Amino acid sequence: MIPRNKITLISSSQGFSGSIERIQALGDPATTSSLDRIEYGNMDGNLNSFTASSIINTTIDVPNGSEILGPIGRIQSGISSSNWLVYFK
Asked if 87 contacts 23 with a C-beta cutoff of 8 angstroms, the reply is yes
Give the number of domains in the chain: 1
Residue 54: the pLDDT is 96
**71: preceding bond cis by omega (within 30 degrees):** yes
Q: Residue 42: give the domain boundaries.
A: 6-88
| Residue-by-residue pLDDT tens, the chain, 89 positions | 556 789 999 998 899 999 999 999 999 999 999 999 999 998 876 667 788 999 999 999 999 999 999 999 999 998 878 999 999 98
Model-level pTM? 0.88
**29 within a domain of the structure (yes/no):** yes
Burial class (CB in 10 A: 0-12, 13-18, 19+), 77: buried
In a domain, 1, yes or no: no
